[in-house]
Structure 1
C-alpha cells in the first residue's frame, strides 16, 4: 500500500464521506473509490460498509485504521522535522509579549509551531513596557508581540494581528470611576501617567499631549513597569490609558477601568530585528497569522 493510498484510507476513515475526503485531499471521488477498492482487493475483505446514505468502517477496517494511524503520524512527523531542518527552522527562537492577552495568542501559536517544527526550541517571556525593543536589538529575543506603531529603521514588523478598544485606568474614588465612558477630551482633567523608554511618536500616539480640541493634557509620573502604573493610579497620582481588556486581567480594588467612547483602537503586531528575518522567524510569523485569523470572531 503506497503512502498516498494510506492517506486516502485514513482520511476516509475519519470523514466517513467520499465527497469530503476527495475535497480534503484535492482528488476526485473516483480516485478515492478506486484506492479503497484496490486496498480491499489486496486485503481480501471489505474495509467500509457503504449505503446510499452512510459510510461505516468494518471491523477489519477499524483494525487497519488503528494499526496504520500511529505509523502514518510518525512518517508525517519525520517529514515535517526533515523539512524544517532543510529550511533552517532549528535552534532557538525567543518571543516576548507586552500584555497578557498578547501572551495568550503567542502561547496558542507556539503549540502549533512546536508541532510543525519540533527541532526549533521556543522560549517565551513577557517584557517591560519601556523595554520592548532593546531585547530585539541586543539579541535577547527574536520576536515581540506588542502595541503599535513601531517605525524604526532597524526593526521590521508584520501586519496588525488584532485591535482592541481603549479604556482609562482611574483611581477607584475618582469622579471618572462613576461614569460609563470617558472621552479623549477628559484627559485634560487629570494628570496622565506615562511610560519611559519608548520612541516619542509611540508616546504621542498612546499618551497624547493635547486633546482633540487642543487642550493640554497634564503630565503625571512616568514608569517603565505596568504594575507600577497601576500602583500609581491606585495611589491617586493620575490616570493612564490602556486596552479595555486589561480590566479582566488586572482588576484591583483601588482602581477602575472606564471605556473610552471616542479613542482609536490599540493595534497589536509582531516586530523583529530587520537583520533577523530568519526562516524560523518567518515560520512563526506565518503560524501566528493563522492562529490570529482562527481566533478572530
Structure 2
C-alpha cells in the first residue's frame, strides 16, 4: 500500500522530472524526495527513474506506473472535490498558474483577495512553462490558470477574458528594424521568426506565429525554443525575431534586444481556463475574485 507522500512524490517527480522542484512543490527537502522514491523502487523491485547529472527521466516501468497511478489519483481527487462541493464549503488548496509575469502579479493580487474571503483555502501559484501550456491543467497539477487565447479544447473551459495587451516584436539590437519606432505585420516577411516547440495546439501556433502576412507574403519560421529564455537568446544571437506582448519589455529588457510595437496587430488576449471536469466551488470563487480586480 502506498503512503500519501510516496504517491505525491512519485506523481510530482514524474511531472517535473526535477528533484528540487518536486521538493519545493511538496514543501519537503530534496533528500526526503530522494529517499521516498528509493523506498518505492525497493518496494516495486525496479528503478522508476533514470538519473544522471544532467537529467531525470522515467523508465518504462515508471511510465506505466505513472499512467496507472495518475488515473487513480485523479479519480480520488474528483471524489474529494465532489464531497467538498456537496458540503458547500471553500477550503483545502487551490493551485493556480500563469503564463507571463504580468499575469503572475495579477494572480498574487487575486489570491490575496480570495484568501481574505476564504481563509481556510490556501492558494499555490506557479508559472506555466511555454512548451506545455495546458499540461499542468490536464495532469491535475493546476486547477486554473491565465493563458493566451485562443483556447478551444473539449476538456478545457475558456473562461473570462482578463486583459488585452498590445503586441510587440523582439529584434536584435543591431537588426535593421531596430532603428524604427514600430513595425507592421508585413515586416515579418523580411526575417525568420523564432517559434515554440512542444505540446501546443496548432491553431494556437497559427494565431501567434503565422506563416503568412495579411497580404499573403510567406513568413519564414526559424529555430523553435522550448523555454522563454531560449527565445531571448536566439533573438539576441540573430537567429530570428519573436512576437510577444509589448509589456514584456518591462520584464525582459536587455541591451542586445529591442522591443518594437507592431502597429497593425490585434492585441494578445489573456483569459482564465480550467478543466471542464474539475470545476468546483473553489475555482468559481477564485474566478469571481479575479474578475472583480479586472472588471
For normalisation by structure 1, the TM-score amounts to 0.69
Match of 1:258 in 2: 260
CA distance in 1, matches of 2:143, 2:174: 42
Q: How do residues 1-297 of structure 1 correspond to structure 2 at under 5 angstroms?
A: 86-196=87-197, 197-293=199-295
CA distance in 1, matches of 2:253, 2:97: 23
Over aligned residue pairs, what C-alpha RMSD do you find? 1.3
1:88, CA displacement in angstroms?
3.0
CA distance in 2, matches of 1:168, 1:150: 22
Higher Cα Rg, which structure: 1
Q: Could you tell me which runs of 5 or more consecutive residues in structure 2 were left unpaired when the two chains were aligned.
A: 1-84
For the structure 1 residues 109 and 280, does the alpha-carbon distance in structure 2 shift closer, same or farther, using more than 3 Å as the test? Answer: same
1:87, CA displacement in angstroms?
2.1
8 Å Cα contact 1:95-1:122 kept in structure 2: yes
3-state DSSP class of the match of 1:169?
A: strand
CA distance in 1, matches of 2:112, 2:106: 10
3-state DSSP class of the match of 2:108?
A: helix
Give CA deviations for 1:76-119 in whole Å, capped at 9, x if unaligned: xxxxxxxx995231111101100011001111111000100111
Give CA deviations for 1:40-70 in whole Å, capped at 9, x if unaligned: xxxxxxxxxxxxxxxxxxxxxxxxxxxxxxx
3-state DSSP class of the match of 1:267?
A: strand
3-state DSSP class of the match of 1:220?
A: strand
CA distance in 2, matches of 1:202, 1:91: 33
How many aligned positions are there? 210
3-state DSSP class of the match of 1:182?
A: coil
8 Å Cα contact 1:194-1:207 kept in structure 2: yes
CA distance in 1, matches of 2:291, 2:87: 23
Give CA deviations for 1:178-229 in whole Å, capped at 9, x if unaligned: 1001000000001100112210000000000000000110011111211110
Give CA deviations for 1:240-271 in whole Å, capped at 9, x if unaligned: 00000000110011111000010010000010
CA distance in 1, matches of 2:261, 2:287: 31
3-state DSSP class of the match of 1:150?
A: coil
Q: Could you tell me which runs of 5 or more consecutive residues in structure 1 were left unpaired when the two chains were aligned.
A: 1-83
